[in-house]
Structure 1
Amino acid sequence: MAELAPRDVFAREISKQKNVRLSLEHLDSIRIKDRFPNIYKYCTAHGLDLTKSVPVAPAAHYMIGGVLTDLNGRSDIPSLYVCGEMASTGIMGANRLASNSLAECLVFGYRAIEDTLNKEPAKPLRSLAKKFHRIPKNEQIYNTIQAEVSAILSNHAGIIRTQEGLRSGLEKIRETSNRLSETDGYQPNELYCSMGNNILTVAHLILSGALERNESRGAHYRNDFPCECTETPYHTIQQKNSIINKATDMSAQNLIDKLIELAIEEDAGKGDITTNSLVPLNYMATATLTAKEAGVICGMEIAHRVFEHFDSEIVFKPYITDGHKVEKGEVVAKVTGSYRALLTAERTVLNILQRMSGIATETAKYVKELEGSGTKLLDTRKTAPGMRHLDKMAVAAGGGTNHRTGLYDMVLIKDNHIKVAGSITKAVNQVREATGNTYKIEVEATNLNEAEEAVKCGAHIVMLDNMDNDTMAKAVKLIAKRAQTEVSGNMTIERIKAVAKTGVDFISVGALTHSVKALDISMNIEER
C-alpha cells in the first residue's frame, strides 16, 4: 500500500487488520503534547502514550454529496441556501485535502450572499417554536435513536459494504423507526422526536442509495461489486419516499447546452436584422419579466444563460427561484445589459421560461390533489423532442418526481416486450441475464395474475396499466408491499385523488409534459 494512497484505500486496508498502530516516535514529544492537548489527555486516561504509538481505526464517509443546489447555493426551497460539505455542488470528494471545505465555504458562500443581494427581501419565516415544542425528558429518546443509528450504519454501511449487509441495515432502520413511533411520549412535532425522525430518514437514504449503486467508486466500496461500473458515471438523487434517480449530470448538461444553442440558432440565425438595423450598438436597457397570471416559476437559470449568450456582461436579477409560486403581476426578474441582446434573446427566453413554468404550474395542481395520500406523482417520457431534461426539471420544480429519463437508465417491460419473451418471468430473467442487477426493473401488468407473476419474479415496481379503481385496490392488496406500485393510463386531475386512495405508491401522468399550457409571462424593456 503506497504512502499517498487515497483515504478510502487506507481505510479498507486498516479495516482488514486486527491491530493497526500509528507510530509518532519520530516526532518531538513536547510538540505533540502542545499541539494535541485534548487527544493526549484522552489517550493518557486510557493508558495510551500518544508520543509513542496509538491504535487507529478507519473512518467511514457514509456519503459524498449533499443537498442539490445550483451554482449560487440555491436549494429547491425558496430562500434556503446551502454550501460546503452539506451541498452537492462543490469540490467535496475531488480530493481529500483539508482545505477543500474552507474553499467551498468561501467560494459558494460568497456566491450565495451575492445572489441574495440581487433579490427582494424574503418574507420572514414563521417561528419554528410554534411548530416544534420541546419535552426535556424526550432527549433520552433522541440519544437512544442516535446511538442505534450510529451502530447500524457502522455495521452495515461502513468501509466495506455488501448487498446482504445493506438490506439488513435497512430492515433495522425500519424497525427502529417503528419502535420510535410507538415509544411512550412520542409526538411527531416534538423537537427531539422530530430530530430522531430526521436521523432515521437520512440513514434510510444512505443505505438505500448504497444498495442501489451496484459498483465500487471512491468511498463507496461494495465487496460484491468491487469494480467501477464502465457505464457513464452518474449521481444518485434521492427524495424521501421517492424512486431513486440516476442523474448523468455531464450528459444531461451537454443536452441542455445543445438545446440552448439550437433554440438560439433557429431564432437568431445569422443575427437579428431588425434590431441590428434600428438599435445602436452601445444602447443599454433594463428588461422586466412579469407573470401575467398566477403559477409556479421554473427555468430561471436557463433564461439567464440565454441572455448571457448575447451579452456576457448581462446583469440578471431574479426575484423568484424555481419552484416558487407567483401571483398575477408579480415581477419575476430584471435584466440589465445591451438593448440589442435583450431584444434578440427575448423570444427564446420566453419560449423556454413560459413552457417550463407552465409544466411546473400544472404539476403543482396535481401534487396538491395528492396531499396527505402518501402517493407520489411521476412524469413520463412524453416530452417535447429535445426538451426532456428541461421538462423534467419543471416537473420537479412543481413538486413532482422524475421517473426514468430515457430508455437507458431503467428497465420497463411492457406488453410488446412480454410477447417477444413469451411471459413476464422469461422477460425479467432475460433482462437480468443481460444486465445483471445494474438496473431497477418495472413490469407492466394489466390484470391481477400478471401483477402476481411480476412480483414473484422479482420486479421492483409493478405498473398497473389501465385498470379500474377496484382492480387497482385488489392489486395493491395482493402485492402487499413486496414491490412498489405505479398506475398509468388516463390519469386526469379529476381522477387521481380517488386513485391514490387505492394505496398505490406512484401515479404517472403524461399530460404534465405532452400537452401543457404555457404560463403567460411578459418582458418589457426600458432604455437606461
Structure 2
Amino acid sequence: MKKEFHQIDWDQDLTDDCRQLVKLAVREDLGREYDWTTMALVPSAAQGQARLVSRQAGVVAGMAAIPIVLDEMEVRLEFKPALSDGDVLQSGSALGTLSGHARDLLVTERLILNLVGKLSGIATLGRQYVDAVRTSQAKIYDTRKTTPGYRRLEKYAAGCGGVTNHRTGLFEAIMIKDNHLAFASQAAKNRSFSARDAVDQAKAFVAESLPKERAAAMIIEVEVDTLPQLRQVLPALPDIVLLDNMAPDVLSQAVKIRNEVAPQVELEASGGVNLSTVLAIAQSGVERISVGAITHSAVNLDIGLDWAV
C-alpha cells in the first residue's frame, strides 16, 4: 500500500490556527481603540443585512472562518451560509448573508473578505491545476511555500480545490533535498555522499530512532536532478523520488528507468510547473506533480459585501 501525506480537514487544530490569526488581524485593524469612522457616522442602534457575493467564478474556501471572526470580534451578527467549502462559484454567486448591528457589519467586513478571498483564491487556482491534468493519472500536490502562520489554512484551501496535500511540516516526512546532500558531502570529507547513501542513512535512522508504528508510516523522499542520480538512488527504494526541473521528455525517460529498476517507487515532478506546462508533465507518466504557485502565487478571489436596501 502506497504511503500518503496527511490531508488537512477543518478540525480543531485548524480552528485554533484560524483563531490565532484572527486575533492578530483584529489587533492590526483596531489596535486598542475603535473604528472611529463607523462610530461617527452609524447610529449605535442601526440594523443591517448584507450578502457576501463573488464577483468572479471560482471555488469557495474558508466559510468556517467567518463564525470565528464574529466570535473573536464579539459582534452582534448572525451568519447564514449559502455554500460550503469546495463548492463552485459563478460571478454573482452569494456565499451567505450577514445580519445584525450595522456597526458590526462594517467593522468585520474587511477581515471576512480578506480571509475568504485569500483562501478561495488558493482553492480556485488549485482546481485549475487539478482540472488541467484530469485526463492523466497524475495528482497535483501543494508545497511548504506558504504564508508564515497560514500553512494549515492554505493547505486546507488547496484541498478544497482538489489538490492533495504534500507534507504539512518538517515533522511529517523525511525529504532529502540538494542542500542536505551538499552538507553531508562536506561532512564526509574523504568520500562522496550520494543520494543513495542519504536514503540508506535515513532508513537506518528511522528504524533505530522511531517507534515501530511511526517508523512504518514515515515517508522517505529524495530529490535528484539527473537521470544518473535517479538510477543510482532507485535500488535504495525510497518511497518517492522528486525529479527537479526536468523537461517532459526527460521525465518520460525517468519513468521508464523507474519502471525497469524499482516500479514500486513513486515519482514526483517539481519545478517549471505552470498551467501551460502541467499537462505535458503529467503525460510523462509521473504519479505526482508539486506546485508551489498554488499557495505562493494565488490571487485573492474577488468577493464583496453587498448591502440589502
Equivalent residue for 1:445, pick from 219, 224, 233 = 224
Instruction: Tell me if 1:477 matches 2:256.
Output: yes
SS of residue in 2 equivalent to 1:315: strand
Cα 1:252–1:290 change in 2 (3 A) is closer
CA distance in 2, matches of 1:506, 1:479: 14
Cα 1:252–1:407 change in 2 (3 A) is farther
Cα 1:294–1:306 change in 2 (3 A) is same
Equivalent residue for 2:24, pick from 262, 267, 270 = 262
Which stretches in structure 2 are left out of the alignment for 5+ residues? 185-192, 208-214
CA distance in 2, matches of 1:497, 1:411: 28
Give deviations 1:310-363, integer Å, cap 9, x for gaps: 346532111111111111112111011221221111111111111111111111
SS of residue in 1 equivalent to 2:64: helix
Q: CA deviation at 1:411?
A: 1.3
TM-score (norm 2): 0.87
Cα 1:341–1:366 change in 2 (3 A) is same
Cα 1:359–1:463 change in 2 (3 A) is same
Equivalent residue for 1:523, pick from 301, 305, 309 = 305
Give deviations 1:155-206, integer Å, cap 9, x for gaps: xxxxxxxxxxxxxxx5xxxxxxxxxxxxxxxxxxxxxxxxxxxxxxxxxxxx
Q: CA deviation at 1:490?
A: 1.0
Q: CA deviation at 1:526?
A: 4.1
The match for 2:200 is: 429
CA distance in 2, matches of 1:244, 1:492: 23
The match for 1:166 is: none
Which stretches in structure 1 are left out of the alignment for 5+ residues? 1-169, 171-207, 213-242
Report % sequence identity: 37
Q: Which moved more, 1:246-255 or 1:260-269?
A: 246-255
Instruction: Tell me if 1:359 matches 2:122.
Output: yes
Give the CA RMSD over aligned residues.
Answer: 2.0
Q: Is the 8 A contact 2:121 2:298 kept in 1?
A: yes
The match for 2:181 is: 418
Q: Taking CA–CA contacts closer than 8 Å with sequence separation of 6 or more, which of the two structures ends up with the larger relative contact order?
A: 2
SS of residue in 2 equivalent to 1:254: helix
Q: CA deviation at 1:299?
A: 0.9
CA distance in 1, matches of 2:27, 2:164: 32
Q: CA deviation at 1:276?
A: 2.6
Residue identity opposite 1:426 in structure 2: D
Instruction: Tell me if 1:339 matches 2:102.
Output: yes
The match for 2:140 is: 377
CA distance in 2, matches of 1:247, 1:365: 20
The match for 2:150 is: 387
Q: Whose strand fraction is larger, Structure 1's or Structure 2's? A: 2
Cα 1:409–1:253 change in 2 (3 A) is farther
Map residues 403-414 of structure 1 onto 2, 5 A cutoff. Answer: 403-414=166-177
Q: CA deviation at 1:246?
A: 6.4
Q: Is the 8 A contact 1:311 1:337 kept in 2?
A: no
Q: Which moved more, 1:262-271 or 1:320-329?
A: 262-271
Highest Rg: 1 or 2? 1
Q: Is the 8 A contact 1:442 1:462 kept in 2?
A: yes
CA distance in 1, matches of 2:74, 2:24: 18
Q: Is the 8 A contact 1:307 1:342 kept in 2?
A: no
Residue identity opposite 1:337 in structure 2: G
The match for 2:190 is: none
The match for 1:292 is: 55
Give deviations 1:186-228, integer Å, cap 9, x for gaps: xxxxxxxxxxxxxxxxxxxxxx6xxx6xxxxxxxxxxxxxxxx
Q: Is the 8 A contact 1:383 1:513 kept in 2?
A: yes
Q: Is the 8 A contact 1:443 1:461 kept in 2?
A: yes
CA distance in 2, matches of 1:466, 1:267: 42
Q: Is the 8 A contact 1:308 1:314 kept in 2?
A: no
